Amino acid sequence: MATLLQIDASIQGDRSVSRQLTARATDVWRAAHPDGAVTYRDLGADPVPHFDNTANLSRGLPPEQHTTAQAQSWARIRELVGEIAAADAVVLGLPIYNYGAPSTVKSWVDHLIAPGLSFDPETREGLLGGRDFVVIVSRGGGYAEGAPRHGWDHATAWLPHGLAMTGIEPRFITTELTLAPVTPAMSGLVPLAEESRRQAEAAIDELWAPVAANA
């Protein structure tokens, strides 16, 4: 059975553009995989704890040597890596906060870097490659080439590097200027925001179109 893992990270609830678009992507995936299963994780509502000393030590000790706290941290790491390993496809909603990824996404990635689970400690080969990993980026401002803040989106640049040890190769669909409809100073950018959203939705709708066509 095909499995999709949907992950949201926005703290904006129903107003969240990234949540709206990950939901759209999941609907598209379900249409292409009517017998498939969807697993869901909400990093905004149920954040993963920051990666601390206990979690770090749990990665380097045999399980039989774990303290109670280390065992709990290692169990969390196994759970998070296991969700990726069990999925054929992953959809991650990535809102941009203060020009970077939400801290919850950073913590989630930190937990995925686990020797023996996500990469081979001897060869350093990633063990989670070979699955479709779609990242839907929502940017409140304009960061495209030529914009005053071009290059300020540090989340999109960071994520492939953050996941590199696992073998995951994300592909991105981005919509920007999402604050234009609700920010008076950006009202003149609403047409550009609408076009950016339209292009993102069109890209989402085509994600698994070949699969659907051959089903």
pLDDT by residue (tens digit) across 5-55? Answer: 999 999 999 999 999 999 999 999 999 999 999 999 999 999 999 999 999
Query: How many Å separate Cα 158 from the centre of its chain?
Result: 12
Looking at residue 215, what is its pLDDT?
52
The 8-class DSSP code of residue 150 comes to T
pLDDT value at position 144?
87
Burial 43-65 (b: 16+ CB within 10 A, else e): bbeebbeebeebbebbbeeeeee
Query: Quick one: pLDDT band at residue 92, thresholds 50, 70, 90?
Result: very high
Q: Is the pLDDT of residue 118 over 90?
A: yes
92 token code pair:
């991650």
Distance CA 96, CA 138 (A): 6
Whether 5 contacts 81, CB under 8 Å: no
For residues 177 and 34, give the distance between their C-alpha atoms in angstroms, rounded to a whole number.
34
144 vs 50, residue with greater confidence: 50
Residue 119 DSSP one-character state:
B
- Using alpha carbons only, what angle is made at residue 24 by residues 23 and 26, rounded to the nearest 5 degrees? 65
pLDDT score recorded for residue 19: 98
State the pLDDT at residue 209.
80
Query: Tell me: domain 3-214, CATH 3.40.50.2000, correct?
Result: no
Q: For residue 175, which amino acid is it?
A: T
Query: How many percent of the chain have pLDDT more than 70?
Result: 97
Q: Is residue 118 within 8 Å of residue 162, measured between CB atoms?
A: no
Give the span between the Cα atoms of 145 and 203, in whole angstroms.
20
DSSP string of 29-76, one letter each residue: HHHH-TT-EEEEEETTTSPPPP--HHHHHHHHS-GGG--HHHHHHHHH
Q: Are 25 and 91 in contact (CB under 8 A)?
A: yes
User: What are the angstrom distances between the C-alpha of 197 and each of 18, 31, 37?
Assistant: 11, 21, 27
pLDDT, mean of residues 49-77: 96
In the predicted model, what is the mean pLDDT of residues 87-104? 98
Amino acid symbol at 162: G
- The structural domains of the chain, with segments of one domain joined by +, span 3-214
Confidence of residue 58 (pLDDT cuts 50, 70, 90): very high
Rounded to the nearest integer, the mean pLDDT of the chain is 95
The tokens of 9 are what? Answer: 């990270």
Q: Give yes or no for residue 214 having a pLDDT over 60.
A: no
Over 70: is that where the pLDDT of 130 sits? yes
The two structure tokens encoding residue 55: 């979690």
